[in-house]
A and B are shown apart, each in its own frame.
Chain A
Amino acid sequence: MSQLLHNIGLSCIVLLELASTLQAADPAVLAAEKQRIEVCEHVAPSVVAIFSPGGAGGGSGVLISKDGYALSNFHVTDGAGKFMKCGLNDGVLYDAVIVGLDPSGDVALIKLFGRDDFPHAKLGNSDACQVGDWTFVMGNPFLLATDFQPTVTYGIISGTHRYQFPAAGNILEYTDCIQVDTSINPGNSGGPLFNAAGELIGINGRGSFEKRGRVNSGAGYAISINQIKLFLDHLKSGRIVDHATLGATVSTGSEGQATIEHILENSEAYYRGLRYDDEIVSFGGRPIGSTNQFKNVLGIYPKGWKLPIVYRRGGETKEIWVRLRSLHRLSELTATLQPKPMQPKPGPRPPGKRPNKEPKEGDPEPPQAKGPHGPPPPPEQLKKFYVEKPGFANYYFNEVQQQRVLKALANWGKFDGAKGTWQITGTIGADRKYETKLGDTVAGLVIPELPGKPAEAYVQKYADLTDIQDEPPGTGGLLTALSHLRLLLLRGPKAFTEFYYLGSEPFDGKGEIVDVLVAGLAGAESHWYFSRETGALLGYDFIRGENQDRCEIRIDSMQDLPSQRKFPKTFRVLHGDQPTVIYHIDQLNLETPAA
């Protein structure tokens, strides 16, 4: 006993000595440590441990809003299904539902339920981070956190604006990503990369693995938060979203220049004048000196965004604005959602045992297994938050967004009784009179004769629905564009075979952020742009078929009609390289009998 007490006494002395040594440590070191601990404590509540409903697998995520939106990886939620369980560090397991998916960008948006004050991370600016900056990775590597307390690893940024090719057998492409030596292991996927201030700068999801097995080998990759910001409204649309291509590829020259290697002749880039062997100077406002840099810009934007390209040919430099085309067909994206074969729970391999199969370069961790008897059914109160529809991760959220955006059109008054032909009269430019008639089966435009200018008349019939013409020629199909406006006001989304909320984009590539609705009918599409700030319809594009230049209608001013309705007063029509034409509307007559 006395021996024991003696030992305890000795230990106390040792401890005291240790304590005095600690006190002697550099105050700057202690302050830095204290700050790290504070940042960890501050952000840990936003870190999500994601489990498939059967509990057979999982990954990580991070909350980004107090109403429960959280980011993760596509390859994490892909294995978990439509409903999942999410643990936070308050020890509570919350229910969650899938919202949107970005299969090629490897991003998923989910929504947690059960609170209206979820702790959430502050989004940082990933373009501001520098090689050498300290970072925190938080998440659930090897699914260790049964109490949902996230594991924290700490390291530096090893590279910025990295490009990682799609791994064999899938379409996951990491563009403009952040490379870290901060430990990222299976189970960390989908979790947050924080900067030293605790701001969210990326979503971890990938590593370079070769010979050492599927564990951290010194190079982990995070999808930059700035890329995700550009996709966030798209993800909130409940869609399976796509990335983009220019319709042209570039190659890197030996002097560090990027030149056009191939270009599709039916691409907008070609229509605007870009050709083989042109040197790309900048793209999306960033200087371009290599193929990777070009792909990095391409990879961070959703399809359909309009970007500036500066190119050089024979010493002359020119700027064009080009809309990006879709990278994949919808069938390719939905193919990624097919059920996966059973995979073992991610975790460390037993030591000393060589893997049968070497992991491929950049291969993400395997999707999680379903439970041995299939996943349990979703909770009853959550079922209404999931609506299945082909092409959508969860159509429920698209309907919510459609209703939000369409409120702006309700302000225009009631049009649903005006089922007859619509007659619009006014002037083109300063004084050229015109008359348009829009009906269910035919639309027409008449421009009467003026001294020195012959009369013009254009007709579009809708008997054969697939044959939408460029009427009047050189407008991109203005007549049918106007017919789409009539249909939208008259019958709403039901008038179209396809109608959905797309997400948001800068208006015409450089303007304010607009919400976008898409209406599809008979192989043609119209995209409707609503101001995020005021909700007002700012204009719309009509696309009469694949690879066709758009008919772009921009509403300059609105008027109050005597019938208590609102309608555009002046709008501009733009099409390709054609000069802009201004239309004034003097009168809208909805009462004429059907043609």
Chain B
Amino acid sequence: MKHRFPVNFFGGIWTLLAAGCLILVPNEFARAQSTQEAIAQVTPRMVKIFGAGGIMRLQGYCSGFLVSPQGHIATVWSHVLDEGEVSVVLDSGRKLKAKVVGAEPRLDLAVLKIEGEDLPYFDLDLSADAAAPGSRILAFSNMFNVASGNEPVTVLHGVIAARTKLEGRRGVFDISFPAPVYIVDAITNNSGSLGGVLTTRDGRLLAMIGKELRNAQSNTWVNYALPISELKEPIQEIIAGKYTPVPTKLADTPETSPRHKPLDFGLVMIPDVVARTPAYVEEVAANSVAAQAGIKTDDLILFVNGELIQSCRHLVEVCDKLEDGTMVDIVLRRDGKLETVKLVVPDKAE
């Protein structure tokens, strides 16, 4: 049973709200009525950032967005900012020097400052609420450094595919973020797009585009963005000059969660002396899962769960990805014959 209110009740509320916004918010950010209108509202608030890099695959540019009328700019904490001072090109084409005034590496966040006043900016208090999967978005960034001078940044369209935690661990995603991120179906994360933004279709700020991220297991690229709801407080505190970064060693960062090593299975491998030391077993600890599975000294580990083990180092990487309590198939070579053994990954906490 739905409750029905007279139409004019809502009308009255909206009028009041709209009036409130107009009075309280100098940086009026009306909800756009069309995609073009949203683009026209967002684009002047975007900046192009040029700094360190430009060698190998490290591009010396990224994106950012203005978060205060005095020229505070939020972007992703990356190598581009390594020298502390960068060049910022505004949407108008003006080129200015910017300094890093604060950073929270745990959140991949950095805040820069240019000299300015009355600049167009995103009022973080007017950002969009969390968006559910299926929500349509626009993405703004200077990906591939396509836009130069006063040329507007690139705009992509897409849909939020998921809101999920990125499990940062070696061999899968070399990145971590303590809160759920948005995964989008558009190819938003390219060279130079870090520090760009996702907005709703009506132009409200939703998230900051993250780094380029490849899943080493599947060789696929992940397009993710960091919710503004997580970044808003630190950005506002950095602007206010009263921010202290959270100590990096936090219990909730996945980086610190324990991972498996060959020794956890009772395997002592031969000394890893060259780049591709074959994965020979030096010793098997008594009563270990490896011993129970029948692994012996001098066995060569060839496959773990079907993955060819190319070296001792590779074995460490593969063990790193194993989950507690799962079944593992290992193929060994012993005396010129192949042997298959099965074992269960022991619980790391024990």
Contacts and interface: CB of A to CB of B under 8 A. Distances in A.
Interface string B151-183: 111111100000000000000000000000000
A211 B57 contact: yes
B144 A361 contact: yes
Given A132-B35, A211-B212, A156 B156 contact: yes
A218 interface: yes
Contact of A181 (B39, B94, B186): B186
A255 interface: yes
A351 B156 contact: no
Contact of B148 (A130, A217, A292): A292
Nearest to B36: A132
Nearest to A290: B149
B146 A210 contact: no
A158 B152 CA distance: 9
Interface in A310-355: 351-352, 354
Nearest to B144: A208
A156 B146 contact: no
Interface residues on B, range: 35 or more
Contact of A218 (B34, B35, B143, B149): B143
Nearest to A183: B187
Given A132-B36, A132-B155, A211-B57, A354 B219 contact: yes
Interface string B184-205: 0011101100000000000000
Contacts of B94: 254-256
A289 B149 contact: yes
A158 B156 contact: yes
A219 B151 contact: no
A572 interface: no
B95 interface: yes
Contact of B143 (A130, A208, A254): A208
B92 interface: yes
Contact of B92 (A130, A256, A352): A256
Contacts of B152: 131, 159
A216 interface: yes
A212 interface: yes
Interface string A217-228: 111000000000
A159 B46 CA distance: 14
B150 interface: yes
B36 A289 contact: no
A289 B93 CA distance: 8
A124 interface: no
B154 A256 contact: no
A212 B39 contact: no
Nearest to A254: B95
Given A159-B151, A352-B219, A210 B144 contact: yes
A419 interface: no
A210 B186 CA distance: 16
A245 B229 CA distance: 51
A252 interface: yes
A495 B221 CA distance: 64
B111 to A, nearest CB: 23
Main secondary structure of the interface of B (DSSP, over half): loop
B246 interface: no
A132 B40 CA distance: 10
A156 B214 CA distance: 25
Contacts of B250: none
Contacts of B146: 159, 162, 164, 179, 208, 219
A159 B143 CA distance: 11
B49 to A, nearest CB: 15
Contacts of A157: 155
A218 B156 contact: yes
A360 B152 CA distance: 24
B136 to A, nearest CB: 11
Interface in A115-156: 130-133, 155-156
B150 A289 contact: yes
Contacts of B218: 352
Contacts of B43: 131
Given A156-B155, A352-B219, A256 B187 contact: no
Contacts of B212: 211
A252 B150 CA distance: 11
A257 to B, nearest CB: 9
B147 interface: yes
Nearest to B87: A254
Contact of A132 (B39, B187, B188, B190): B39
B187 A216 contact: yes
A77 B177 CA distance: 48
Contact of A210 (B38, B148, B190): B190
A155 B154 contact: no
Nearest to A163: B148
A159 B147 contact: yes
Contacts of A461: none
Interface string B61-101: 00000000000000000000000000000001111000000
B186 A290 contact: no
Given A208-B144, A354-B219, A219 B36 contact: no
Given A211-B212, A352-B219, A354-B219, A130 B36 contact: yes
Contacts of B143: 208, 218-219
A164 B148 CA distance: 11
Nearest to A155: B157
A566 interface: no
A351 B191 CA distance: 22
13 contacts: A130-B36, A133-B36, A156-B35, A159-B147, A210-B190, A211-B214, A216-B187, A217-B187, A218-B187, A218-B188, A218-B190, A256-B92, A290-B148
Closest 9 CB pairs of A and B: A218-B187, A256-B93, A290-B149, A208-B144, A132-B35, A181-B156, A254-B95, A132-B36, A158-B154
Given A132-B35, A179-B146, A219-B144, 4 more contacts: A158-B155, A162-B147, A218-B143, A290-B151
